Chains A and B, each alone.
Chain A
């Protein structure tokens, strides 16, 4: 998980860079008017490669200052907030399946509503207000495909494994022990009064 998180901003940055080439010249960021300024931006969602995600831009919301005003995306991905006073604002994007960093937006009164935007999560400043998801979000665990290893690892697999070891390997182990040593060990154990392994396995002991 962690390496994915770490690498994705860099990736997003790359995509952003490419997008700048196309959109940098066309973006009107803000315009002044009598009652506040206008913030215009664009949400760009890359085509999803995760199955099951239908990233419809009609279900994307753009939220100013934690719910003070909510707007939606136009078919081309643009959004606009009207009548925004000069100052510092926070823009969040809510889109199912994607995580967007909140954006700090400074609207300057001195420069007629010039907008300066910074991603608060990565502290990277944007020259144009084009918002890209930091990462895709997968809400479900992915089922591991069937493998012998997971079978063996499961409690029941362990049980079976242990039984196999006891049934087939233990007699083999017993066989390898020198009969003299075995007897000595048995004597010692009997003297200590500890129930010996051989007494638990009478067939193995008796056969010798």
Chain B
């Protein structure tokens, strides 16, 4: 027994000593991993199409990205992901060579070099109050060789030099109640008009000298009705605004600083009445107003007279107006008709002149058009050509030109909110796997090449050939299941409510689907996605059924809004069913039971304290009623600092006739004192995690039993003062406390307090251990602590005789109600980087050792062996401990560059890491999402159960051939020798 253990330990050491880091050769990049770069939903776009040089479009997005895209192919020239609270308010091009961005509610102005994206200057603007942020880059404003950029934000108007970012002048508009609405700069004039409202009822116009920032004149006039705030500037001396009742359009003229009002009732313009809304596109001498689901175009005549010139259906997206040749101005509108979209470019002056009319077939799963940006170019026949950049409802970005989609980018994938995995279909008999392999000669040739490569004898052409061969090797992108489980689908739900299935082999989109609203009501046109669950994973029964995923969404942003459930077939990407469920969704709990068709039972808790069972079948109900007493769950109220445990009570038949609805009773509550503790993080184990061994054998023949419970909740609290950003408090003011709470009984199993520490806490919980990352204010460094939980009650089973005679309690039933006897071991280390997220690798049987996957602040992912966070590490481990693989204790965790699984790539804006086991025990899939997507396959203990791709079959063959030849030769030789001996 002992011998065996020792042998296995030695084997383990042999295995593990080689596994210090992940390590990848440079030529292996792209073999198992893929990386996709995105930018997010586009907010603003500015075209830069000069006659010479590359044509590009500068965009800013809702993911706080500013990027320069190639207009021909849609590729990213450069991009920058700004900080999470640095939202971009405006983007423009100045001097023809700088991209100017205004961000952080108008307080940061940056200039980027247009060709390569290098930041040129950065200026912080003084802001005093929150208000609209406006960025305008006047084309013809120039003084002293300087081109000012005008920025209005936070109550101040700044003129900033475009060359070096120097503030030329600033003007304070923070006078009481004054809200600036528009900053207008008439062409060929050095006077800037600043128009604003005082207390929403008085219009004020300032005239400012653009050279000095001094107020030349100021006029104000009271409007008795009051304004509603929406404003549209139609020309350099007129704006149109709605009054507070939203039924009268008020034209404010301020020619030469004299304010005049002119009122027009909307009911006089169109027959329909109702609340009007001014749409945002900037059209010259015209404005677009939305009334009763129709968009009307109103032209402003010379004397401020309004007349309706056109009206369109509601679902129309419009671009800003664009100057085309001969002092004419055009704008584009896009609307849907069946599966087609129609792009129409018209002249603003003359709506009957259609410059361009194109119809384009559009994928139904892109939804409506949200935004249109147009740009013109001169064709070879000197007529105007137009290209339109459109943003769809699913956040995708498309370029339309000459009636076709030139390129498209799936920008929805920049905002993934939940990910799950799914299997691919099993290969049918008709599809032969062997087809990929060629003839034996080709195969041998390939392997000879590989051998040459591994011996570093290959020429550059050979290397290229090897690389190409590897990339398309062994059908890694086939759409069938493989033996090792390397080919899988990652199903990603995006913020736009679109579902994408990504192939692990090459990252391509196998199918995508936009969630549809079950009802056609106005309130819920498109449900927003919340989370994804595996609904049906056929294994043993129901093999002919396709697996499916459950998408939980809701109508509207409020948590009490009614939920929507949608079932999607994983193989085809078709929606099987979609239903509004008539109650809100607070929490979704997959239960560990499945029905005869392997549909998993789910409980959904609503805001009224009821839970609802899905699927709504009688079979599911009978299964659930059998387990009725054993269903528990907990809720966390972060604001109140309360954690509650619940159990089932009864069917809520008394209140509603719904037999799938149940009432619950409260079992326990844990209340944290609100003056000293605030919940910042809670975490449980992954419900589908597999634990292979219950016990841990140490070198001194001691056995430690892991306390493996599915009902453990990790809670981290921090003093309310320390709940903010790091470094905002002194060490004395903040204490971090972590708890381990049993979610069945509410018993606090363990409490650990860290004085002088604060959040944010990033934690990972697996098997019997928790690892969490937090900030130590005293050392001013990040720390990582590991807590391992061991079962004391089974500790007496160490005696072999007890086991032999059956006097052990290993088979005794374990009840969640019994008081657990457990003890913990913990240890802390310094860690040199901020962390965005932590995950842990998961394998099919849980035998392979684990690695922590740490998403760092630099958007890289570091694989750290679990052995580095082992509480049994000591400064001087004994020989026996060393044999066991215990690493000497160091005060900080090592950052080995070779163990970055993202190698030289960045997953910009990293938000989450998902791991999923492959069928092969040694291997795990890793999928990381943020603005970018990254996938790789990891083998935390190296691929001990399969040969690597690099395995040189040719060398093996050569060896065998050589051995056979040697045997034959020696045989012949020995025969000869024997013969000669006999003759002697």
Chain A residues packing against B (C-beta within 8 Å): 1, 33-35, 38, 52, 56-58, 61, 63, 65-75, 80, 82-83, 87-90, 92, 94-97, 99, 101-102, 104, 118, 120-121, 137-143, 145-146, 154, 156, 159-160, 163, 167, 203, 207
Contact B122 A74 (CB under 8 A): yes
Contact A92 B119 (CB under 8 A): no
Contact A70 B86 (CB under 8 A): yes
CA distance A102 to B873 in the complex (A): 26
Contact B84 A67 (CB under 8 A): yes
Contact A156 B956 (CB under 8 A): yes
Q: Could you list some 27 contacts between A and B, CB below 8 A?
A: A57-B118, A58-B78, A58-B113, A58-B118, A65-B727, A65-B728, A67-B834, A82-B124, A88-B780, A92-B834, A99-B832, A99-B895, A101-B832, A102-B781, A102-B834, A121-B832, A137-B897, A137-B900, A140-B24, A140-B903, A140-B904, A141-B23, A141-B24, A142-B25, A146-B456, A156-B959, A160-B962
CB distance from A129 to the nearest CB of B (A): 16
Most buried by B among A38, A73, A88, A160: A88
> Which residues does chain B contribute within 8 Å of A69, judged by CB atoms?
83, 85-86
Given contacts A141-B24, A160-B959, contact A94 B859 (CB under 8 A): yes
Is B457 in the interface zone, CB < 8 Å from A? yes
Contact A104 B780 (CB under 8 A): yes
Most buried by A among B23, B84, B906, B959: B959
Known: A65-B725, A68-B726. 7 other contacts (CB 8 A): A65-B726, A72-B122, A92-B834, A99-B897, A138-B898, A141-B23, A207-B978
Per-residue CB contact flags for chain B residues 845-885 toward chain A (1 = under 8 Å, else 0) read 00000000000011100000000000000000000000000
CA distance A33 to B25 in the complex (A): 51
> Which residues does chain B contribute within 8 Å of A87, judged by CB atoms?
727-728
CB distance from B931 to the nearest CB of A (A): 13
Given contacts A65-B727, A137-B897, contact A74 B121 (CB under 8 A): yes
> Which residues does chain B contribute within 8 Å of A90, judged by CB atoms?
726-727, 780, 834
Is B354 in the interface zone, CB < 8 Å from A? no
Given contacts A66-B725, A69-B86, A96-B904, contact A52 B781 (CB under 8 A): no
CA distance A67 to B724 in the complex (A): 12
CB distance from B80 to the nearest CB of A (A): 7
Contact B956 A72 (CB under 8 A): no
CA distance A160 to B108 in the complex (A): 69
> Which residues does chain A contribute within 8 Å of B781, judged by CB atoms?
102, 120
> Which residues does chain A contribute within 8 Å of B364, judged by CB atoms?
none
> Which residues does chain B contribute within 8 Å of A63, judged by CB atoms?
83, 834, 857
CB distance from B127 to the nearest CB of A (A): 9
> Which residues does chain B contribute within 8 Å of A73, judged by CB atoms?
119
Contact A66 B25 (CB under 8 A): no
CA distance A118 to B122 in the complex (A): 25
Given contacts A92-B857, A94-B858, A167-B970, contact A140 B80 (CB under 8 A): no
CA distance A71 to B895 in the complex (A): 24
Is B833 in the interface zone, CB < 8 Å from A? yes
> Which residues does chain A contribute within 8 Å of B457, judged by CB atoms?
146
Given contacts A67-B84, A102-B781, A160-B963, contact A75 B897 (CB under 8 A): no
CB distance from A78 to the nearest CB of B (A): 9
- List the B residue with the shortest CB-CB distance to A87: B727
> Which residues does chain A contribute within 8 Å of B780, judged by CB atoms?
88, 90, 104, 118, 120
Given contacts A34-B126, A68-B725, A102-B833, contact A167 B966 (CB under 8 A): yes
Most buried by A among B25, B26, B900: B26
CB distance from B350 to the nearest CB of A (A): 46
> Which residues does chain B contribute within 8 Å of A167, judged by CB atoms?
966, 970
Is B812 in the interface zone, CB < 8 Å from A? no
- List the B residue with the shortest CB-CB distance to A138: B897
Is B469 in the interface zone, CB < 8 Å from A? no
Contact B959 A96 (CB under 8 A): no
> Which residues does chain A contribute within 8 Å of B836, judged by CB atoms?
67
> Which residues does chain A contribute within 8 Å of B833, judged by CB atoms?
92, 102
Contact B24 A67 (CB under 8 A): no
CA distance A117 to B645 in the complex (A): 48
> Which residues does chain B contribute within 8 Å of A140, judged by CB atoms?
24-26, 29, 898, 903-904
Q: Which 7 A-B pairs have the closest CB atoms?
A: A82-B124, A94-B858, A70-B83, A137-B897, A66-B834, A140-B26, A58-B118
CA distance A147 to B24 in the complex (A): 20
CB distance from A92 to the nearest CB of B (A): 6
Q: In chain B between 50 and 95, which residues have their CB closer than 8 angstroms to a CB of chain A?
A: 78, 80, 82-86
> Which residues does chain A contribute within 8 Å of B895, judged by CB atoms?
99
CA distance A96 to B903 in the complex (A): 10
CA distance A120 to B955 in the complex (A): 50
- List the B residue with the shortest CB-CB distance to A164: B966
Is B323 in the interface zone, CB < 8 Å from A? no
CA distance A87 to B731 in the complex (A): 12
> Which residues does chain B contribute within 8 Å of A101, judged by CB atoms?
832
Contact B966 A163 (CB under 8 A): yes
> Which residues does chain B contribute within 8 Å of A142, judged by CB atoms?
25
CA distance A167 to B122 in the complex (A): 77
Is B4 in the interface zone, CB < 8 Å from A? no
CB distance from B349 to the nearest CB of A (A): 44
Is B981 in the interface zone, CB < 8 Å from A? yes
CA distance A88 to B962 in the complex (A): 70
CB distance from A202 to the nearest CB of B (A): 11
> Which residues does chain A contribute within 8 Å of B86, judged by CB atoms?
69-70
- List the B residue with the shortest CB-CB distance to A79: B122
Given contacts A74-B121, A82-B124, contact A67 B25 (CB under 8 A): no
> Which residues does chain B contribute within 8 Å of A146, judged by CB atoms?
455-457
CA distance A102 to B963 in the complex (A): 58
Contact B84 A143 (CB under 8 A): no
> Which residues does chain B contribute within 8 Å of A141, judged by CB atoms?
23-25, 898
Q: In chain B between 726 and 766, which residues have their CB closer than 8 angstroms to a CB of chain A?
A: 726-728, 760
CB distance from B550 to the nearest CB of A (A): 33
Given contacts A121-B832, A141-B24, A160-B959, contact A58 B117 (CB under 8 A): yes
Is B772 in the interface zone, CB < 8 Å from A? no
- List the A residue with the shortest CB-CB distance to B955: A156
Q: CB < 8 Å: which of B120, B857, B896 contacts A94?
A: B857
CB distance from A28 to the nearest CB of B (A): 14
> Which residues does chain B contribute within 8 Å of A72, judged by CB atoms?
80, 110, 119, 122
Contact A70 B904 (CB under 8 A): no
- List the B residue with the shortest CB-CB distance to A1: B896
Contact B83 A139 (CB under 8 A): no
CB distance from B594 to the nearest CB of A (A): 41
CA distance A102 to B833 in the complex (A): 7
CB distance from A161 to the nearest CB of B (A): 11
CA distance A56 to B895 in the complex (A): 23
CA distance A129 to B792 in the complex (A): 53
Is B974 in the interface zone, CB < 8 Å from A? yes
Contact B981 A207 (CB under 8 A): yes
Contact B122 A71 (CB under 8 A): yes
Contact B857 A143 (CB under 8 A): no
Contact B897 A66 (CB under 8 A): no
CA distance A154 to B110 in the complex (A): 57
> Which residues does chain A contribute within 8 Å of B775, judged by CB atoms?
66
CA distance A134 to B676 in the complex (A): 39
Q: CB < 8 Å: which of B78, B107, B726 contacts A66?
A: B726
Is B144 in the interface zone, CB < 8 Å from A? no
- List the A residue with the shortest CB-CB distance to B127: A35
> Which residues does chain B contribute within 8 Å of A1, judged by CB atoms?
896
Q: CB < 8 Å: which of A68, A95, A163 contacts B963?
A: A163
CA distance A200 to B617 in the complex (A): 73
Per-residue CB contact flags for chain B residues 764-788 toward chain A (1 = under 8 Å, else 0) read 0000000000010001110000000
- List the B residue with the shortest CB-CB distance to A159: B959
> Which residues does chain A contribute within 8 Å of B120, judged by CB atoms?
74-75
Q: CB < 8 Å: which of B107, B727, B859, B898 contacts A88?
A: B727
- List the A residue with the shortest CB-CB distance to B902: A139
CA distance A102 to B779 in the complex (A): 12
Is B608 in the interface zone, CB < 8 Å from A? no
CB distance from A20 to the nearest CB of B (A): 23
